[in-house]
């Protein structure tokens, strides 16, 4: 990179200053992971906006690692974020205001420049596709007290609910970890995720009406959008992305359960994708497409490998919850009389990803396969093409 351009990125980018972090500690930001050497003091040239920082401390020989701790940040241009290692607690903590001012001035004077690792800008596109609906308000609404997301504060979560192989693996990791503790963690709050009912119950409603309400989650979706998200579809998608990132990078079981609940809610709608919320479902399919495209990659390094391995174990089974939901949704699309063109196109890409990455097979001969129907085929879905301007996505800065 041209030196002047690099200096401009250093001055205008965000700097994450991490002080006194022990050697061998794993530190990550977004999709990038660092194994720390003795000279490491942080990361520079970070694009302004939303990011997820996560880390895992190690034993002195660097062979065993603690459960990951992660936190979201929303930083402006030239902002300096300072964290210092607390040896006794084995975690990063904020410094005092006076210390922060001194360190910020030192960073801006380039005193730490040689000890700061550069953010890999070529991988920023992956991160934006995973986080484009997360805003500062998303973080403030969902993050736990203190901001730290970690599986160690989630023991006992979901004891009475069926578990996927992913949930069992994360549970087992927590139980067998050298860093786990029997200390009562009940005083620690998890994230403030939106409560998604698994079964809808309403007094005075007939059995067949309740059955219909639970078979099609459209009414539940509409109710949640208004009551919990202020009518904002993007806020719901922001929570979906927040949960996925907290799970995949932060290895949070609570986050996985929330992601699963939101995906089940959206794929459980039979009316909304074609009538009331077509635009939301176009955006949703794009979100989950990029989530799984990234999550199922085979070439991650460091702590990402462990998360991806768990993800693979969970999805590879053809009887997994996701396979069932996708199969039903693809069939629904095939049988629909009117289908939005963008929804059809992105669902086809999503299906091809699942088939190529996981080897899943779905019923053939449908519009999702890209097969053309004869003009007089009365069972062919009608594809409506809307003006492209209707689908401009709102992304965070």
CB contact at 8 A, 199 and 268: no
The confidence band for 155, taking pLDDT boundaries of 50, 70 and 90, is: low
Identify the CA nearest to 129 among candidates 232, 283, 260. 283
Q: At residue 286, does pLDDT exceed 70?
A: yes
Q: At residue 284, does pLDDT exceed 90?
A: yes
CB atoms within 10 A of CB 229: 17
Query: Can you give the pLDDT at residue 321?
Result: 87
Q: How far is CA 112 from CA 17, 18, 82, in A?
A: 9, 11, 12
CB contact at 8 A, 94 and 147: no
Residue 169 gets the label, from left (phi > 0), alpha (psi -120 to 50) or beta, of: alpha
Asked: is 3-131 a CATH 2.60.34.20 domain? The reply is: yes
Among 4-18, 148-162, 268-282, top mean pLDDT goes to 268-282
Take residue 310 and report the two structure tokens written for it: 């768990």
Lowest mean pLDDT across 69-73, 162-166, 236-240:
162-166
Q: What is the crossing angle of helices 253-267 and 278-295, to 10°?
A: 140
Half-sphere exposure (Cβ direction) of 147: Cα atoms closer than 13 Å: 16
CATH class of segment(s) 149-176+188-391: mainly alpha
CB contact at 8 A, 148 and 69: yes
The confidence band for 87, taking pLDDT boundaries of 50, 70 and 90, is: confident
Answer whether 3-131 and 149-176+188-391 agree in fold: no
Query: Can you give the pLDDT at residue 202?
Result: 54
| Domain boundaries along the sequence of the chain | 3-131, 149-176+188-391
Taking residues 139-161, report their average pLDDT. 78
CA distance 199 to 265: 11
Give the global pTM.
0.82
CB contact at 8 A, 82 and 100: yes
């Amino acid at each position: 990179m041209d030196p002047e351009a690099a200096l401009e990125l250093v001055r205008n980018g965000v700097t994450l200053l991490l002080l006194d972090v022990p050697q061998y500690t794993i530190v990550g930001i977004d999709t990038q992971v660092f194994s720390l050497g003795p000279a490491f003091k942080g990361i520079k040239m970070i694009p302004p906006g939303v990011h997820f920082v996560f880390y895992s401390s190690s034993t002195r020989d660097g062979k065993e690692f603690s459960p990951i701790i992660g936190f979201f940040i929303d930083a402006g241009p030239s902002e300096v974020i300072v964290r210092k290692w607390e040896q006794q607690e084995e975690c990063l903590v904020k410094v005092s205001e006076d210390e922060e001012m001194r360190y910020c001035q030192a960073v801006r004077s380039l005193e730490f420049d040689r000890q700061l690792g550069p953010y890999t800008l070529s991988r920023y596109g992956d991160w934006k596709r995973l986080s484009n609906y997360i805003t500062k308000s998303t973080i403030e609404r969902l993050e736990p007290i203190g901001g730290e997301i970690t599986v160690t504060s989630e023991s006992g979560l979901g004891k009475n609910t069926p578990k996927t192989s992913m949930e069992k693996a994360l549970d087992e990791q927590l139980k067998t970890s050298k860093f786990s503790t029997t200390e009562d963690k009940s005083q620690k709050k998890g994230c403030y995720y939106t409560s998604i009912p698994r079964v809808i119950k309403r007094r005075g409603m007939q059995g067949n009406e309740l059955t219909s309400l639970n078979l099609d989650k459209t009414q539940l979706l509409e109710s949640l959008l208004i009551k919990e998200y202020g009518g904002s579809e993007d806020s719901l998608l922001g929570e979906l992305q927040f949960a996925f990132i907290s799970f995949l990078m932060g290895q949070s079981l609570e986050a996985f359960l929330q992601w699963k609940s939101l995906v089940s809610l959206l794929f459980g709608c039979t009316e909304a994708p074609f009538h009331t919320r077509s635009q939301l479902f176009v955006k949703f399919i794009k979100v989950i497409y990029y989530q799984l495209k990234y999550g199922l990659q085979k070439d991650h390094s460091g702590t990402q490998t462990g998360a991806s391995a768990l993800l693979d174990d969970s999805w590879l089974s053809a009887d997994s919850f996701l396979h069932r939901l996708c199969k039903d949704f693809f069939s629904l699309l095939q049988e629909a009389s009117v289908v939005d063109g963008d929804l059809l196109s992105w669902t086809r890409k999503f299906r091809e990803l699942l088939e190529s990455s996981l080897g899943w097979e779905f019923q053939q001969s449908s519009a999702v396969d890209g097969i053309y129907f004869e003009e007089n085929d009365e069972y062919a879905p009608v594809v409506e093409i809307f003006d492209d301007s209707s689908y401009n996505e709102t992304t965070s800065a």
